[in-house]
Amino acid sequence: MRIAMWSGPRNLSTAMMYSFGARNDCTVVDEPFYAAYLDKTGLDHPMRSEILANQSRDPLQVVAQLTGAHTHPHFYQKHMTQHMVPGVPRDWMADMKNVFLIRHPARVVASFAAKFEAPTLADIGFSQQAELFEYVISIGQTPIVIDSADIRRAPERALRRLCSVLGLDWQEAMLSWPAGGRCEDGIWANHWYGAVHKSTGFATGEEAAVPQLSGSYAELADSALPYYRTLAKARIEI
């Protein structure tokens, strides 16, 4: 089984990659289109030159990696929705189990802004996530949606439910991992993954109230909220 997990940044996505990577039957890959995205957009992200030097910029080469042979029965792919810019093909998604990992935009903006100056709606991936959600429906699939808040509130129950929907056997190993990085981490891990590298499992549930933002950050979260709500209507019940 090939699982494409679609999220924006600061959305429990690395912890989920570590969770699936802890299984004994799963290969994982970390944001395989990142270099192609930077190359096509020209964006000046942290560690841009290192990313371009260490990952293929050719989307077709990336697709070949995603659809080719892998070392375990299952292949978990951590994808950022904002990386799917014009020129990056999508037809390969028909061969994947497509899952959408969502998080309330106020939480995403509060976290992302601490690492990235003046983020825009295009940077945080909500509109692209909704577009990909509709694309998956258009190719005849029923997209799977899971909310990171549900995972943090009850990790075992949420992951058991996700595995059931995917048709995967449950493995207790998904609940924990060794502290530190994984060999599959992208080279950008040193900038972005500090908190998850200190973790050995899923953090406890978030505060019920979302962060109170102001100014441009509040406007950004408000602009992302309709996309979040659209996908939230389809999330699996935990």
Task: Assign 3-class secondary structure to 151-212.
Answer: HHHCHHHHHHHHHHHHCCCCCHHHHECCCCCCCCCCCCHHHHCHHHHHCCECCCCCCCCCCC
> 95, 94, 100: which is closest to 143 by C-alpha?
100
Asked whether the predicted pLDDT for residue 214 surpasses 80, the reply is no
Q: Tell me whether residue 200 is in a domain.
A: no
Q: Tell me whether residue 193 is in a domain.
A: no
Q: What is the pLDDT, as a whole number, of residue 207?
A: 64
Is the full-model pTM beyond 0.85?
yes
Q: Tell me whether residue 77 is in a domain.
A: yes
Q: What is the pLDDT, as a whole number, of residue 119?
A: 83
- Give the mean pLDDT of the chain: 93
Which positions ≥6 away from 159 have C-beta within 8 Å? 19, 151, 170, 174, 175
Q: Tell me whether residue 11 is in a domain.
A: yes
Give the mean model confidence (pLDDT) for residues 185-204: 89
CATH number at residue 111: 3.40.50.300
Q: Tell me whether residue 237 is in a domain.
A: no
- pLDDT band at residue 200 using 50, 70 and 90 as cut-offs: very high
Asked whether the predicted pLDDT for residue 53 surpasses 70, the reply is yes
**Counted domains in the chain:** 1
Could you report the per-residue pLDDT of 140-186, keeping only the tens digit for each? Answer: 999 999 999 999 999 999 999 999 999 999 999 999 999 999 989 99
Q: Tell me whether residue 115 is in a domain.
A: yes
Domain holding 68, by residue range, is 2-184+209-232
Asked whether the predicted pLDDT for residue 208 surpasses 70, the reply is no
Q: What is the pLDDT, as a whole number, of residue 211?
A: 74
Q: Worst-scoring range by mean pLDDT, 30-34, 107-111, 171-175?
A: 107-111
Q: Tell me whether residue 189 is in a domain.
A: no
Q: What is the pLDDT, as a whole number, of residue 192?
A: 83
